[in-house]
Structure 1
Amino acid sequence: MPQAMTPGDLVDASRHDFQHGTPNHSGSAPGKQAELVVRNPRLPHITQGFIELRLLVSRLVQDSHNRLQGMIGLLAEGGRSDGDKKARIIEHMLERRKQFIKLLVLTMWAKNAQAVSEVIDLKVFLDTRQEIFHRVVWNLYEVRRKMSYARIPNPDLDTAVRVLSTGRANTAMTRRYVPPKKLTSGETLKILRDLNTLLSLRLALHEKLPPYFRDYTIASGRVTFTVADEFEADLSIGDEDPTSQLYLVDFRFIFKPSASTLPAGRIRDEVERTGNKILEQKGLEGIYDYLHGFVMTDKICTLARQFQIMLTGRWTENLVVEMRKRTLVVQYWVSRVTEGATKSWIEVGIKRGTGGRPSHVGVRWIRDGKAVQDQEVPLDVAVLSAENLIKTVVAMHTKHILTSIRGRLAHSPVFPLSAMVLTTHSTDSFNSSLKLQLTPSRPIKFLIEPITGRFALHPLTMVSTHVEAAMNNSPTGVEEVIIRLKFVLTQEEVETRARSMGWEVLKVLNIRKEELKGFFPNSTKYITYLRRKGWGKEWVVVMVLAETGQTWWVAKVYEAPSQWSMSMALEIPVQGEANATYGFLGNLEKISSAMITLYVNQSVLVEKGVQHKLQPSKVADPKLTIPDLYIRFSSLIRANWGIDVLRLTFQGLGTEGKCIVTVLGRTKEPMTQLGSTNISAADSDVSFHPQSGSYAIRFNINVGESVIEPLTEKLHRIERLIRFVAVIRRFKLPCLDVSLGRIAFTYDTESNSSAEVSFSGDREMKLHLPPRSPHIRIKGFLEHRLNVSGLETVVMALTVTLPLLLAFERIEAAVGDRSDGHVFVLSRGVDWFRIYYRRLGVVLDWQLQCRKSVLHWFVRDAASSNPESEAEIVGGEGRRKAEELKGIWSGEVEGDWEPLKSGAAAGLREVGALAWKIHELIYAGRRAIS
């Protein structure tokens, strides 16, 4: 016989079967009936809401890393004491310790994950059973409550006496016990029509309708009042008496989300009971107030339920929802409050009606701890949406923050309005942004994350990551952080573009801050030193980034024994926005080169005591504000041939970065004496306009060089040129070439004799003659006369001495290498020549003298004028009187000359014939003696 099983054995067996999933049949002997075993149901396995441990660990590590970076960025900022920094470090470490302790506990529980999971399944199963038990109790309570209406009424003794005494009962009383006959369709339709008529008459004649019950319809024996976006109420009557009570038949919500009608139950019964009581006491006014308040309360509760659902989603830990009586309080951007900002929340409640408007559900907005009075938060009461409401408030708050930031930045010279574009959206803050043009190539969008309220920058870079952390750690100083970001990016971009354009970025130029305060604004944050290749090391361009804006300066520096120092700084007048584009840097090079050039020239003029002044340029480039330097002509050079104003103008940059400077002036008299001579073609640095007397001098100099010295030299050369050309024109000599440094002319067309004079500033003038020029022999004397007496004397000397010198050349060519001796022509001056016939012993002196205001050449025998010279030995030969020339001296030999007893005189044109005749007579007499 098998042993009987105890209840414990049965439970163990059922557990075994539940675990292994196989039926348990007792009975090993065939033919015996198997015992029926009760199997326990399989517990439902719970997996919803589970998070993998590795994902939890990775998120915690990432969050710790992000918060550590934020704290490091915060500690790197200035203005915080060591105590504050230590407190923040300790607070950060304690918070992280709590989180990792929680992670440790979860890790220890994870070792028994299977057992924990089974416990969770069991806990859920038990909670479900407990809920069923509570529901059974509640249902029993409802049955008990409803049975109270099903009791038997007390005996009606009056009716019983009437029936027993008279044998018949009151018809009205019998209706309580005898059910009436069922109405036919026609009777029902007639009753409904009668009710419709009675309701129409009553509402039109006897009832005073509230202003909010003017929208109604009458049908099916009831009147339906409609209150927009709130409810519909069906009322009817129970008597023809116009003073009888109206009854509440039905009630429906007409806003969303809501039930189309109140479900049967305690709430519906309460609404009907209270509504009918109010209709009896206060009529339509009272029922409207009651239902209106009921609906508004339900709307607030609906929003509260929606906010509670939102707390289980992505808004978790970012909203605080609280009900205070009939007011719903929702705080948003909760995490932002811990980072230094004040609280912001909305209050959804019932606002009192004003101006004929009934009370309504409204929103009171407290922004950053202050109630907003000038803005009303829109609330869609027809379709309630908590998420749309909070998104709208967040979008309005985002717009306020972005607008405030733009307004504060607009008051700063750093950000012009053209560099800021504000885009807002009424309901979606993701589409609200403030676009800032930090540099010409780096725009950035300033955003606010709608759920957390944290600031965000797009696109995200290494620099903007630290800036974003700094903004979130100090929400009240966002503008300062943005300005600092702009300065950092501007400095980086300027340095990059400047290097690509050939500028040097001087990182080693260390100048004391105390010294810089004397030149630059006190609010200076960043300074960048640049130098163009080819400039002297003492000149730099300085970009200053300060709270007052971005400015550019030209500075002069020098290297002190220990560091660099600054001796001068001039602000560069930048027109428009100083965005460091390539075009801007090109213009910056021009204007800085111009300022350096003007400053250097002005310094030289001050040193020389020359009167000058700066005035705006007459031909102004809108992108370049470069003044002109006006110089007093008479103060620069001691001359009166020019108008007393010289205008020095910067014309731009040439090749290799050299400055092109033009000096404009005008002579007092037109330079028509230059005629059509194209001086500009010969000297490209100077151009003339003879009719007006204007001239322009062009200089191509290095940056930092002065043009005052070369200008003075060129003015002297212009003066000489004008004077020399006037001399050439007065003598009616053809000019071969004219320039500022030289003038070439022909002084005799028959012999094609020409000369050239070169001059440069105050240095000595040079006379250049062709190799075979007859005046080569007196070039030294002519050059001396040129520097002492000027070109007029030289030209006159060239013309008056040419016939005689040509005759000397003819004589020398005729004598050649003859055996009877050579002829020597000795120059003792421009107006005195001595011709010596060596073998013949004859010496003649030719002198230019003025006789009766007319120039004549006088020839004399040197031996006759100086008898003692007969014994003089020259080259081994003695001198003698030229007896051969007595015929000329006495006039026996006739010609175009005048005898003078011991000599002769001839005009400038006849002197050549006289010299040749003398030469012939001397050689003829020599042959006669022989």
Structure 2
Amino acid sequence: MDLPPEIRHITETFIPFSTLLTRVAQECFNGLSDVLTQMAELPVPQQPVSSLTNGIGSHGMANGSGNMSENNVQKKLKLMHFADEHRNRFIKLLVLSMWGRHGTDMSKIIDVVSWLREQEACYADAAYWLGQIKLEMAAARIPHPDIKTALEVLSTGKAPWMPDLGYIPPEPLSAQQTLKLLRNINVQLSIRLNLHEQLPRHLRDWKVGSGRATFVIPSEFELDVSASSEDSSTPWYFIDIRLLFSPGPEIPDGQFRSHLEWQANHSLATSGLSGCYDFLHNFILTHKIAVLRDQAHELNAANWAGSIKVEPVRRSLVVQYWIEMPGKKSWIEIGIVSGKPKNGRISWRGPTPSHLAVRWFRQGVEVKEHNLVFDWGVLSMEQMLRKVVALHISHILETLQGRLVASAQGNPILTAKATISDSEPSDCALETTLGNSINPAKVLIDPVTGKFAIQPCTAISARAEHDINLLKDAPTDASRIISSMLCVTLQSTIEKEAQQFGWTKLNNISLKAEAIKAAFKQDVIRHTFFCGQGWTPKWALAAIINLSGESWWVVELRDNVTLGSIERAEQLHIDAGILNKEPISRTLLNTVERSAIANISFSATVRVCKAAGIPNSMETAYIGSGNSIPGRTFPGLVVNGDALLKPIGMRMTWAKNTLRILHQGFVASRGNVRHLAYGKMPNEVSNDLQKLMPASRDSDITIRRDGIFWITLYTPFGEPFIEPLQSRLRDIGQLRTFISTLKGHELVCESASLSQVVFRYGAALKATVDFKPNGAIRLNLDPSSPHQRICAHLTALMNGGRTDSLLKGVAAIKPTAKDINLFAKALLLTLPVLQAFKDIETAHPASIYDPSIHPRNIDHYRLRYDNPLCSFNVRGRVKGDEMKWVIEDLNIPSDLKSGVERAKEATRAENLDQALKALWRESGDGWDGVRRGIVASPEGVGDAVRRLDELVRSFAVAGMEDRIPVRGGGDEKVKDEVVKTMVNTVPKGNVNGSGNVSGNGNGHKNGASVHDVITID
């Protein structure tokens, strides 16, 4: 049966059965693929081979008791679950297919049921709308109709007592009427404001124009109001409002403006102009806070992201900044202050209106006194934050500056200068420098994050930044880290410059902080030990760094191997002008090294002086342009010359008693320290020495015309220079004494130096005197010199009686002026006799041995002849102030004869004895014969010796030459005695207090005895 057309046939939600069947079959296939894949991923262990026979399992296995491993069980379960699930789906499809065979009838029933429900809904809606119409018609009912007004309107067309509802627009006014109307309104408004209104002080800035009164509230708004009647009791009505701050939005026509006008008119009607001002004023203040809140959110989403936190609290705004910094938080609070005085008393000017105010909390503490002045006419949350942050950064930097300066205890070496700003945080900085470092540190604070930054960026500053940014109270604790950073930076600069300068850093010195502080007697933050080029391991140079800057110390180490402890530490007193102005550079390090080496040398020397009792004092000498080393300052030592030479038995009679020693540098390649000793000698002494010294090879000694003399000393590093100075002063004294002696005896000095003097004596004879380092004097003569025969005796005479064999074992010899004077006298007095001896030897062939001359001493010689056999003594003797030479015959008893004479048992020829007696009665130029010899003056002794030689040779026996050994032969059996060198200058004598040599021999009546001793002054 077909349904009528009024009943709608519903087919919207029908789905074809074929589509459903296709989807279920596809899902079954997909599910089977997934199950097989999952089963393949589960490995099954293989069964033992013994259980399989030809691929068939054991017959003893029961059903279901095959492979019971966990993976095999899981495979079976997955397959069973899949089969069960999809079996149920296909059963449902079977049910639906069976139901679908009767689907036509069921569809008709559904259509009928749907139509019945629609009809039921229509009946219900009709009843509802009837009731609703009744309710809405209630407002249109007129309970009391005005019949009188209706009749008047219907009959005349108007009713005077009815107000004009504006349904009919009035005729437009002309320009003249409009101008006249506005003028009238302006007059009415002016009269009312001046006479009838009691305006508060914040509304006294007003003006009237264009039919309205305009009130101006600076940085807030302009309000236009007007009145509709001359009656002062009629209310004002709102016309317009303009915002006087930026960003200030225009208020467009709409719901908000309508509500604002209604609220303003309500305030004007109820409270007048004051009420309207309070309403609009509070509205503007709230709006400003809202604008600042929006700006804060924009900052938090842009440049200040993650650094500020915005918290609106009622009508206030709280903005927290530097939220990532540890420690207590900082924020600003912007709110509305009522303006009421705390004491409740109102000023004669009237109550103060409410206004915006800012409270600043710095690290959890409110800052009462601050210079936060904001321009409320131009709202900028970023500028407000920058001002607050600038003041906060300034406070931190000023606190750091104060703590750094306080920690330095007023020492100007540590400088800290804070540059602050009350509006721009990027202009705030703290520049600090320790010492004269070329790398000053600049401390900055990031305005956004509040994190510290230090320039220049180095590994040291980066580590300090990290440590400071972890502090909870950075203004208080950061000064310690910055101080340490400055010290480390200065230490790094010193180590870098020292390495380039050539110093070696001593890393093996490991000392505790207590030991360091005890050794240097001050607080030590950083320290470094260096060893200069050419220094010995015993000494080191320490750079001590604290908040007073760097100080340099000389350190004497107790253990040279392990460098385990400090024996002594002494601070170097370097010129403050150099330390304060000169940065860490090669120039400063050179000054420090020079001062350190001078300190080491002077300290060692002062200790020796104290031990020896030599007065001394330290001083600083400035050598100006007039000297050899112009314009420099040198450390110096002043010593007493006599006390210095006292240990070696000398005195500074040739110069003033004060000696100054200046440090002149260090020769690292040789490890020698150079000092310059200078003093003042009389002009006559300096003139004598200067005439001879220009050609001298002693480059370490300089003598000027004005008497100033300079001595250059080279000593090993760390060793005192007292001994070298004593040696050079002794050499100068010896040289001066020797030259004075030569000058006194009219000897010509050809050249002179501290090591050698060359002079001439006689007609053309030359002698060289060498001064040895130990003070000894050695005489060198030409091979042809007559004095070559007694050279050893003359050398011993100059050295105080010591011969060469004794000089080798003596550490220091002290020749005196008397010894040198005796040498000069002996040289001149012995020249004639020695020249005569040389003439006798050179007058005869070398094959003839006669005579043999034996020098027993400077003033004692023996002449022995073998053909004829005889001997003579030539001795000097002093009587009064006159020196005489005595030649005596040795015809003496046999017990006093020589060994050869006794062995031969020969007697002298009678004719020779008679000839000698005749000679003793003769006289010549400068000599006279006596009873048994000849007495001659120094000038005549040569002729006497030659006359004696002629006489003796005239009695020689012919044919005896072959029996006489040749001169220089080696037959000891023939020689009568061996020539022996005497050790003492004057045998069998002693030196008396007056410097004369006295003897103990007995004199004869008519001449000098064999045993007489001659004294030479």
TM-score normalised per structure 1: 0.74
The separation in 2 between residues aligned to 1:671 and 1:510, in whole angstroms, is: 57
The separation in 1 between residues aligned to 2:767 and 2:749, in whole angstroms, is: 9
Q: Which moved more, 1:852-861 or 1:915-924?
A: 915-924
Query: What is the match of residue 508 of structure 1?
Result: 508
The separation in 2 between residues aligned to 1:852 and 1:561, in whole angstroms, is: 70
Aligned partner of residue 519 in structure 2, secondary structure: coil
Query: What is the match of residue 403 of structure 1?
Result: 398
Query: What is the match of residue 376 of structure 2?
Result: 381
Q: Could you give the per-residue CA deviations for residues 274-312 of structure 1, whole angstroms, max 9, x where no partner exists?
A: 544555676655554543333222211210122123333
Is 2:819 the partner of 1:790?
yes
**Amino acid across the alignment from 1:474:** L
The separation in 1 between residues aligned to 2:226 and 2:145, in whole angstroms, is: 31
**Amino acid across the alignment from 1:746:** R
Q: Which moved more, 1:863-872 or 1:229-238?
A: 863-872
Aligned partner of residue 245 in structure 2, secondary structure: coil
Matches within 5 A, 1:816-831: 816-817=845-846, 821-831=849-859
Query: What is the match of residue 724 of structure 1?
Result: 738
Query: What is the match of residue 223 of structure 1?
Result: 213
Query: What is the match of residue 698 of structure 2?
Result: 683
Query: What is the match of residue 465 of structure 2?
Result: 468
The separation in 2 between residues aligned to 1:596 and 1:853, in whole angstroms, is: 56
Query: What is the match of residue 301 of structure 2?
Result: 312
**Does the 8 A contact of 1:816 with 1:822 survive in 2?**
no
Aligned partner of residue 236 in structure 1, secondary structure: strand
**Amino acid across the alignment from 2:659:** L
Query: What is the match of residue 901 of structure 1?
Result: 931
Matches within 5 A, 1:196-595: 196-200=186-190, 212-213=202-203, 216-240=206-230, 245-261=235-251, 263-266=253-256, 268-276=257-265, 278-279=267-268, 287-336=276-325, 339=326, 341-351=327-337, 360-413=355-408, 422=418, 427-430=423-426, 432-435=428-431, 440=437, 442=439, 445-458=442-455, 464-476=461-473, 477-521=477-521, 523-546=523-546, 549-559=549-559, 564-574=564-574, 575=576, 576=579, 580-595=584-599
Q: CA deviation at 1:519?
A: 0.9
**Amino acid across the alignment from 2:405:** A
Q: 1:868 to 1:241 in 2, by over 3 A?
A: closer
Query: What is the match of residue 36 of structure 2?
Result: none
Q: Could you give the per-residue CA deviations for residues 737-780 of structure 1, whole angstroms, max 9, x where no partner exists?
A: 222333332223x223334242445x432222223222111112
Query: What is the match of residue 17 of structure 1?
Result: none
**Amino acid across the alignment from 1:645:** T
**Amino acid across the alignment from 2:224:** D
**Amino acid across the alignment from 1:781:** H
Matches within 5 A, 1:905-916: 905-916=935-946
Query: What is the match of residue 666 of structure 2?
Result: 653
The separation in 2 between residues aligned to 1:886 and 1:673, in whole angstroms, is: 56
**Amino acid across the alignment from 2:746:** K
Unaligned runs of 5+ in 2: 3-7, 16-135, 342-346, 801-817, 961-1017
Q: 1:298 to 1:878 in 2, by over 3 A?
A: farther
The separation in 1 between residues aligned to 2:367 and 2:630, in whole angstroms, is: 47
**Does the 8 A contact of 1:535 with 1:702 survive in 2?**
no
**Amino acid across the alignment from 1:756:** V
Query: What is the match of residue 793 of structure 2?
Result: 781
Matches within 5 A, 1:561-640: 564-574=564-574, 575=576, 576=579, 580-617=584-621, 627-638=635-646, 639=651
**Does the 8 A contact of 2:623 with 2:634 survive in 1?**
no
**Does the 8 A contact of 2:413 with 2:548 survive in 1?**
no
Q: 1:200 to 1:728 in 2, by over 3 A?
A: farther
The separation in 2 between residues aligned to 1:798 and 1:824, in whole angstroms, is: 22
**Amino acid across the alignment from 2:939:** R
**Amino acid across the alignment from 1:814:** A
Q: Which moved more, 1:731-740 or 1:326-335?
A: 731-740
Aligned partner of residue 447 in structure 2, secondary structure: coil
Q: CA deviation at 1:483?
A: 3.1
Q: Could you give the per-residue CA deviations for residues 581-601 of structure 1, whole angstroms, max 9, x where no partner exists?
A: 333332222122111112111
**Amino acid across the alignment from 2:853:** V
Aligned partner of residue 551 in structure 2, secondary structure: strand
The separation in 2 between residues aligned to 1:208 and 1:652, in whole angstroms, is: 97
The separation in 1 between residues aligned to 2:147 and 2:663, in whole angstroms, is: 129
Q: CA deviation at 1:616?
A: 4.5
Structure number with larger C-alpha Rg: 2
**Does the 8 A contact of 1:617 with 1:626 survive in 2?**
yes
The aligned length equals 784
Q: CA deviation at 1:431?
A: 5.4
Matches within 5 A, 1:724-763: 724-748=738-762, 750-761=763-774, 763=775
**Does the 8 A contact of 1:626 with 1:650 survive in 2?**
yes
**Does the 8 A contact of 1:540 with 1:557 survive in 2?**
yes
The separation in 1 between residues aligned to 2:381 and 2:362, in whole angstroms, is: 18
Q: CA deviation at 1:805?
A: 1.5
Q: CA deviation at 1:253?
A: 0.6
Query: What is the match of residue 674 of structure 1?
Result: 688
Q: CA deviation at 1:795?
A: 0.6
Q: Could you give the per-residue CA deviations for residues 610-652 of structure 1, whole angstroms, max 9, x where no partner exists?
A: 3333344456999999753333334333236354433332222
Aligned partner of residue 312 in structure 2, secondary structure: strand
**Does the 8 A contact of 1:871 with 1:878 survive in 2?**
no
Aligned partner of residue 676 in structure 1, secondary structure: helix
**Does the 8 A contact of 1:835 with 1:844 survive in 2?**
yes
Q: CA deviation at 1:654?
A: 3.4
Q: Could you give the per-residue CA deviations for residues 675-703 of structure 1, whole angstroms, max 9, x where no partner exists?
A: 533537432223334644x4332212232
The separation in 2 between residues aligned to 1:803 and 1:154, in whole angstroms, is: 183
**Does the 8 A contact of 2:622 with 2:634 survive in 1?**
no
Aligned partner of residue 259 in structure 1, secondary structure: coil
Query: What is the match of residue 705 of structure 1?
Result: 719
Of 863, 888, 892 in structure 2, the residue corresponding to residue 835 of structure 1 is 863
Of 909, 915, 921 in structure 2, the residue corresponding to residue 890 of structure 1 is 921
The separation in 2 between residues aligned to 1:764 and 1:174, in whole angstroms, is: 151
Q: CA deviation at 1:242?
A: 6.3
**Does the 8 A contact of 2:594 with 2:665 survive in 1?**
yes
Query: What is the match of residue 171 of structure 2?
Result: 181
Unaligned runs of 5+ in 1: 11-146
**Amino acid across the alignment from 1:309:** E
**Does the 8 A contact of 1:413 with 1:549 survive in 2?**
no
Q: 1:255 to 1:158 in 2, by over 3 A?
A: farther
**Amino acid across the alignment from 1:720:** Q
Query: What is the match of residue 18 of structure 2?
Result: none
Query: What is the match of residue 132 of structure 1?
Result: none
**Amino acid across the alignment from 2:210:** S
The separation in 2 between residues aligned to 1:158 and 1:649, in whole angstroms, is: 138
Could you tell me the percent identity over the aligned residues?
A: 28
Aligned partner of residue 520 in structure 2, secondary structure: coil
**Amino acid across the alignment from 1:635:** A
The separation in 1 between residues aligned to 2:169 and 2:443, in whole angstroms, is: 78
Q: Could you give the per-residue CA deviations for residues 360-408 of structure 1, whole angstroms, max 9, x where no partner exists?
A: 4332211112222342224232221212222332233223223322332
**Does the 8 A contact of 2:832 with 2:941 survive in 1?**
yes
Query: What is the match of residue 776 of structure 2?
Result: 764
**Amino acid across the alignment from 2:780:** H
TM-score normalised per structure 2: 0.68
Q: CA deviation at 1:8?
A: 3.8
The separation in 2 between residues aligned to 1:596 and 1:238, in whole angstroms, is: 107
The separation in 2 between residues aligned to 1:898 and 1:369, in whole angstroms, is: 128
The separation in 2 between residues aligned to 1:244 and 1:554, in whole angstroms, is: 100
Q: 1:697 to 1:624 in 2, by over 3 A?
A: closer
**Amino acid across the alignment from 1:895:** D
Of 837, 855, 860 in structure 1, the residue corresponding to residue 883 of structure 2 is 855
**Amino acid across the alignment from 1:685:** D
Q: 1:929 to 1:898 in 2, by over 3 A?
A: farther
Q: CA deviation at 1:228?
A: 3.0
